[in-house]
Each structure stands twice: as C-alpha cells, then as structure tokens.
Amino acid sequence: MYKIGQFSIITGLTVKALRYYHKESLLIPCDIDEKTSYRLYDTSQIVQARKIKILRDCGFSLKEIKDIFNHSSDLDDLPFYIEEKLNSLIKETKKVSLIKKNLLNETKEIRGGIMSKYEVNEKTTEEQLVISTKYIGKYEDCGIYIGKLYKHAKQHSCKVPINLYWDAEHKTDASIEVCVPVKKEINVKEDIKIQKLPKSFGIATIHIGPYGEIGNAYQALHDYANSKGFELVLPSRETYLKGPGMFFMGNPNKYITELFIPVKVK
C-alpha cells in the first residue's frame, strides 16, 4: 500500500490531482485510513493512474477520459482513442511517439520486467563539498541551474551534478536544490552558496533510461522501504552519473541516474 505522497512520486501525478480524481470518481483510493484519513493506493492502481496521466498530457478532458474508461479498460484500445483525438491536436504531434511508447510500456508483463531490474541497496553517503542554488519551479529547468553552477565553479568542479528534492510528493512547482561538487572552498556570490552535504544513511538504486521513466525507480525504493519498515526523510537525492551534455541531449536511453532517499535513524 502506498500513501498519497508516495503514489504521487511513483506515478508523476500531483497530490492535488490525485485528490481531484478521487473527488471525480476517476481514481478512487483502495482504502482510507480511519484514524488518519490518509488515502492509500495499491500496486494495481499504478497503471490506471499512468493511463490517466498519459491521456491528460494528450489533451483529453476528464469527461472524455471517463467516457473512454466506461467503454474500455484495455490498454490496447487507448491508441485508437488517441489517434482520433490527435486529428484535432495537430500542433501536439511531437507528443505522439512518446504517448504511444508510454502506453505500450504499461502492460503488466513489461512492467514486471522493468521492476526486476532495480536493485535497492542500503548505504551511507560520504560527506561532500558542493556549491548549490535552490529554486522553485519545473523539474526540467534544473539544467539551467546546473550550467550556471559549473560556469561559476570553472576548474574547481569535480564529479557529477546532484539534485536535492525537498518535497515528499510530485509537484508542479517543486523545491529543488541543484549541487555541483567542488575540489576546495571557493568564493560564491548572489544566490549560490557553498556547503558540505553531510553523511547520510538511506536506500539507493540506479535508473538507466529517460528521466520520464524514473518513477519506476522510486517505486522500487518505496517498495523496499515499506518491506523494511523504514521511515523515509528529506531531501531525496538524484546523482546524474551520465546524462545530457551542455549542448546536446544525447541518447536518453543511456542516461544513468542514482536515486538516494535518506532513512530516519531510530
């Protein structure tokens, strides 16, 4: 069972959206805790949630999605509805290939194969000297701030960039701290600061592939934490071992990202 914040990270839907879909009877939690009133979701609802996100991203209204679900529950039927909708969304053609790919990847058989590739480890991170800057905004904007930090660090930068995420859920305007490791103390200015990331015990896994599929890795981490009875704390961390360059995006299927979430030490 996943709490609404965990389910938000796994599916890429905001908590606000999940509450709204519950209100509209589009995605009803499998259970609600009587004591805390927390909405709880199970694994079987992940595909349903992602189907909703895919259709919403393609421009379908809630009424249209309800109509689709009333007539079909089969993933194989969705591309036909999408093709019909795309006739009126000519300017959205760049999304077509991504939408189709996401739909095809969400079968139970393929999903089982995806999840089996994640190995979760317990580890303690090393103390690390970094320069960093914090912003509130879109996840995809982090590259702008990474470039700014590398430009400031110049020859003093070392290793690869790190993002610290200060939200326990997926958000439209996320609180993100972008970090670039440096070899030694350097002067900083404006909204850049220098700090030491402390040692931290937590759980980690490696995601290989596009950032849009990183929710699978978060599911593996949360499943592991639930099985061990771990309480996860902030900030979670993504270390970009291999990603896009400064000028070219490269092959996203070969991006390598380490995900780390601290565990509350009792």
For residues 15 and 54, the model is more confident at 15
pLDDT of residue 208: 94
- pLDDT grade, residue 88 (50/70/90)? low
- pLDDT grade, residue 113 (50/70/90)? low
Q: Mean pLDDT across the stretch 17-40?
A: 91
- d(CA 208, CA 13) in angstroms, rounded, equals 22
pLDDT of 153 strictly over 80: yes
Structure tokens given for 57: 């991203």
Backbone φ and ψ of 88, nearest 5°: -105, 5
Q: Mean pLDDT across the stretch 82-90?
A: 70
**Residue range 198-254, pLDDT digits in tens:** 999 999 999 999 998 999 999 999 999 999 999 999 999 999 999 887 667 788 999
Calculate what percentage of the chain has a pLDDT beyond 70: 87
Q: Mean pLDDT across the stretch 152-157?
A: 95
pLDDT of residue 259: 98
Q: Which residues pair with 135 in a beta bridge?
A: 176
Answer left, alpha or beta for residue 37, where phi above 0 means left and psi between -120 and 50 means alpha. Answer: left
Q: Mean pLDDT across the stretch 177-187?
A: 96
Number of H-type helices and E-type strands within the chain = 9, 11
Q: For the range 23-31, what are the long-range contacts, defined as Cβ-Cβ under 8 Å and sequence gap of 24 or more?
A: 24/62, 24/66, 26/52, 26/62, 26/65, 26/66, 26/69, 27/52, 29/4, 30/1, 31/1
- d(CA 115, CA 109) in angstroms, rounded, equals 10
Domains and CATH numbers, the chain: 2-113 (1.10.1660.10), 121-262 (3.20.80.10)
- pLDDT grade, residue 160 (50/70/90)? very high
- pLDDT grade, residue 137 (50/70/90)? very high
Q: Mean pLDDT across the stretch 176-181?
A: 98
Give the least confident one: 2-6, 148-152, 160-164, 244-248.
244-248
Average pLDDT, the chain: 88
- d(CA 131, CA 143) in angstroms, rounded, equals 15
pLDDT of residue 138: 94
Q: Mean pLDDT across the stretch 169-196?
A: 95
Distances (CA, A) of 232 to 107, 168, 188: 29, 9, 32
Contacts of 100 (CB under 8 A, 6+ apart): 79, 82
- pLDDT grade, residue 81 (50/70/90)? confident
